[in-house]
Amino acid sequence: MNTHFSEAEGAAVPAKKPSLLRTFTRGLWSNNPGLCQLLGLCPLLAVSGNAVSALGLGLATLFVVCLSSVIISLLRSLILREVRIPLYIVLIATLVTVLRFYVEAFYPDLYDSLGIYLSLIVTNCIIMGRAEAVAGRENVLRSFLDSAGCGLGFALVLFCLGSVREIAGSGTWMTGAGALLGDWAAPFETVLYSHDYTYLIAVLPPGGFFVLALFIALKNAFSIHRRNRIENRFRIDSVRD
């Protein structure tokens, strides 16, 4: 149990846990795995050349991290601490294998575009990190909300990264959406402008680093601006008092 010491009494008291809403939302923004922790960079940059491939890997990662966290949380009292890491890896590998067979059978185009990176979800630090930090210590609800927030935050970064790279590098958006999501998503497949005006570097590996760096810079700039506004507001209130 997390504790802290009171300065007045010198006694250890339990640290206050964040609310359930905070547990979910921190993975979306303040503790986003892709923008803050910089985890899962290999698949983040490798399969984000277009929006549909990025969305497919993001949904796959979200599924694995949520289901593995729930199962680990349910079984945490039965898992010996000395062997927890190998057991986590076996569980995650089993889920990824089942998911890989499912994608290969029903979404062959997506399977071909993701390639080895679908199997490499097993080694994604986000999944193991949530299992070790939260799922192995907390109840099912809190574990699910934490993993859902981190998984969704990672999927959103993947999708935005893939969208920007596809638009800049190919002049299209959501190419192949009908094959992944069904016929209802086919109208989202859009040609925005001619290949004569595209930037090839955007869909190459260096372009992934450039776009991700831009996202991180924008996120940091927004966070600093918001913090400064809060500090200025309190400073004005204190002067008035």
User: For residue 142, which of 2, 26, 15, 6 has the smallest C-alpha distance?
Assistant: 26
Q: Are strands 190-191 and 172-173 parallel, antiparallel or unpaired?
A: antiparallel
Query: Does the pLDDT of residue 1 top 60, yes or no?
Result: no
Q: Are strands 172-173 and 12-14 parallel, antiparallel or unpaired?
A: unpaired
In this structure, the number of other CB atoms found within 10 A of the CB of residue 158 comes to 27
Phi-psi region of 211 (alpha: psi -120 to 50; beta: other; left: phi over 0): alpha
**How large is the average pLDDT for residues 38-65?**
91
Report residue 238 as tokens: 């204190």
Query: Does the pLDDT of residue 9 top 50, yes or no?
Result: no
In the block, tokens 């071909």 appear at 112
Report residue 235 as tokens: 């400073």
Alpha helices of 131-176 — where are they, by DSSP H? 140-170
Q: Are strands 190-191 and 12-14 parallel, antiparallel or unpaired?
A: unpaired
pLDDT of residue 236: 59
pLDDT of residue 110: 87
- Alpha-carbon gap, residue 44 to 157, rounded angstroms: 8
- Alpha-carbon gap, residue 232 to 234, rounded angstroms: 5
Q: What is the pLDDT of residues 168-191, one digit of tens each?
A: 999 999 998 988 888 888 899 999
Tell me the whole-structure pTM to 2 decimals: 0.88
Instruction: Give every CB contact of residue 190 below 8 A, 6+ residues apart in sequence.
Output: 172, 173, 174
**To which H or E segment does residue 98 belong?**
helix 84-106
Q: What is the pLDDT of residues 83-127, one digit of tens each?
A: 999 999 999 999 999 999 999 999 898 898 888 889 989 888 899
In this structure, the number of other CB atoms found within 10 A of the CB of residue 81 comes to 8
> How far is it between the farthest Cα atoms of the chain?
71
Cβ 72 vs Cβ 79: under 8 Å: yes
Greater model confidence, 31 or 235 = 31
The pLDDT confidence band at residue 14, using thresholds 50, 70 and 90, is low
